[in-house]
Amino acid sequence: MAIAPPVLLNLEQKTHLQNATHHIAPTWPLDQMIAVNPFWQMRHLPIEQVFNRLSSLNNIHCFMPRQYYADLYRQGHISQTALQLAAKDQRSELSINQLEACLQQTDELSHWHNIADLLDAQRDEHKMAWCDEIIQQISQFCAAHYQQSNPIYSGAKNTPHACLYQHWLEVSRHDKGLSIIMDEPKLHDYFYQLPNEAEALLAQALDELSIDGAMIEHYGHALLLDINGWASWVAYLRWQGHLYAKANDQMLQLLAIRMAWELVIWRYLKDEQKHNFAQLSNHWIREKNQLASVFKRHEQAQKPLWIWAQAAELSYQHQLNSQLLNAHKQIVTSPKLQAAFCIDVRSEVIRRALEAQSEHIQTLGFAGFFGLPIEYQPHNHGLSRPQLPGLLKPVIKVSQVTKTPQSHHQMNAKARWQAWTQAAPSAFSMVESMGWLYAFKMLKKSFFATKVEHPINRFTHANNWQLEKQQQPLTIKDKAELAQGILNAMGLTQFAPTVLLIGHGSHTTNNLHAAGLDCGACGGQTGEVNVRVLAQLLNDKDVRAELTHLGINITPDTHFVAALHNTTTDHIDYFEPQLNDEITAWLKAATTQAQRERIVNIAPQMASSNKASLDKFYRKLSLDWSQVRPEWGLANNAAFIVSPRSRTRNVNLQGRCFLHDYQWQNDSGFSVLELIMTAPMVVTNWINMQYNASTTDNHKYGCGNKLLHNAVAGHIGVFEGNGGDLRNGLSLQSLHDGQKWMHQPLRLSVYIAAPREPIEQITAKHDNVRALIDNQWLYLLRWSDDGIIERYYQGKWLPQNSQP
């Protein structure tokens, strides 16, 4: 067969293809799992346009089923007034009756089809589907290509830095099984016709498939959505490359791989099955010609769903507005105990429980990494891990100096530990391969479960942390300036005798997504390192002396104590020999109250149990290797409130709100507000959108049934079963209790207690902030000191108090 002459991409084609590759958001590996807004790379577009595009190109569901909204309406969670306001806001003339009727309709919308889709529609049902095999082949190849240890594919090219497309082409040309699997003789020969360079392949495909103009971007985007899991992994590598100034963008090569399959089957049918090719060619011409009308039909179909979705959001906002505006303000003037928690929604419940123990307890909300831009490295070892949000790059390295440092042998044990206690045993397949002795071990874990700790987290209780920047120890002045920035951002100016710095982490067993339940602000780790380092910093006499020159006076009778909130059990463990009896009693009572509040959503049958039984149940839950719902994580998150705690202390926010302390009167120049709006507000949007997308379309943006999960290359991600695309997002068990959804998809409502002007100025200054607000990826609401709540949108302030 003659090899087609070389064709080169022109500038316009390359631009459209690059645009397509930049629509995919990154996903972090399992051991650093953080929540990500899967639409983040399209934040510059209005959310309606993005949802229309995804639905049109890949049949992605960005809304809940119509029956879901009907149920909310019937149950009173969506009011008629909210429905009317949402319709008015979207300039719709649909009446209440018409909107109700819309929920009874069934959409039968056609969406864009790639060539493989078109072929499957006319393919013999007894043969392997083209789409299934294409995704399987690309996915299995990527898993092998990116595996960093014990590589599956041998050869000099098999490294994560090898040319992705060339490596795939080499493997595919040697894989004679493709013709057999597809039952298509000679199919294998067509891989030899493909050019050796990714750009040449893309140029040939666009030319032969007659793709031009703006359709190039849509086609490229649709192909990447077919393999969205691996595209997201490549986007993560690109993200890390930008963060650390080490270019690593392989997305165009991944697109070339997916497009190569389109070209291969196009050429194969053209030469080998002329009748089928004629039919395919006609379908392909029609598909391209009707893309604009597909976009239009999906836009029309989504309009009533947007009204229902917004009505649900307005109904929630009205309820929250009423709570906030009617709340009794309570200021703690002389606290005996201050406790700083992460803004994580799970902290809202335990904070309320702790505050209920005494009017002399003050709690604060702050980002879980406590403002420390650090990475943790065990002493005398090369391993390190980030302990800060994925948006940021660590600039300080911390390690704990011990008298008996861990040996390399001990540290290497972490790999084995991860394989045997965190990876899904695939439990019964493990019995099959390891024999009945392993089954006995599983039964032993069931009846005599004990806590298993990661070797890298075996810290001493001594506060002997070493901080370095650019391989030089931080000076006392450096440490004081770091502490000053943190205390100012926290709003801590007066100090109680005991100040608890409380990070958080989950404790579950046999959970590949365990890091996703830990602190996202700490890079998918617990906040233990951060609070230990900060406590040492603030207890250091020399640092305190230097702080006095910076206007901060911490008296000798104030002691900072590092602690960790276990979000599975609600225990608060502190890293001190002891606290006084009163504080200890408060912490235990808070645990009991929080456990009792949460049990309704975890095990309602335990609601009337006594304190001891309840605690025993939670402990067992955290150690049970067979437990698929050890906790609900951040499910049902809905709002981010930036205000003094005194204004929300007497409000039960039901574990749905991120709470960040902020007093605008103490924020000179509004630098703290700028930090909040550009960092925690973005992170909460990521969390909110990941939970929303994993709920509305778990097939594309979630990871399915966790009982079927298998780890890919140790830490990259999971397959559901042994193949298909790499799965991102949350499992069904993290969102649904078997009878109902535990997360209600609502766009995040951000409430900021601050004047108008700084909010306007910060929004105008930062493109990301402006995009989130003006393209409606979240609601930005101002909660004024005089009891007014108004929305900021596209440069205007819109009153909200009258909304239902």
* Binding site listing: 342, 344, 504, 519
Q: Across the beta sheet with 559-566, what order do the strands follow?
A: 361-366, 337-342, 498-505, 559-566, 572-574
- Quick one: which of 376, 531, 389 has its CA closest to 454? 376
Q: Where do we find the tokens 């011409």?
A: 285
Which 8-state DSSP code applies to residue 392? S
Distance of CA 575 to the CA centre of its chain: 29
Which residues sit in the known binding site for Zn(2+)?
A: 342, 344, 504, 519
Torsion of CA 146, 150, 153, 158, to 10 degrees: 50
- Give the span between the Cα atoms of 53 and 322, in whole angstroms: 36
Structure tokens that stand for 66 in this block = 């119509």
C-alpha distances in angstroms, 552 versus 254, 397, 499?
53, 25, 15
- Give the span between the Cα atoms of 461 and 459, in whole angstroms: 6
> Measured in Å, how far apart are the chain's first and last C-alpha atoms?
69
Per DSSP, the residues of 315-351 read HHHHHHHHHHHHPPP---SS-SEEEEEES-HHHHHHH
- Give the span between the Cα atoms of 287 and 589, in whole angstroms: 64
The answer to whether 712 touches 797, Cβ cutoff 8 Å, is no
Torsion of CA 37, 38, 42, 47, to 10 degrees: -80
C-alpha distances in angstroms, 614 versus 433, 620, 626, 628?
37, 10, 19, 19
Per DSSP, the residues of 690-726 read HHHHHHH-HHHHS---GGGEEEETTTTEEEESS-SSP
Structure tokens that stand for 680 in this block = 């925690």
Element (H, E) at 264: helix 251-272
How many residues belong to the chain?
A: 804
Structure tokens that stand for 593 in this block = 């109250």
- Give the span between the Cα atoms of 634 and 641, in whole angstroms: 15
Provide the 10 A C-beta neighbour count for residue 139.
19
Q: Which residues contact 664 (CB under 8 A, 6 or more apart)?
A: 670, 673, 753, 754, 755, 758
Provide the 10 A C-beta neighbour count for residue 779.
23
For 330, what's the count of Cα atoms within 13 Å in the CB-facing half-sphere? 18
The answer to whether 790 touches 782, Cβ cutoff 8 Å, is yes
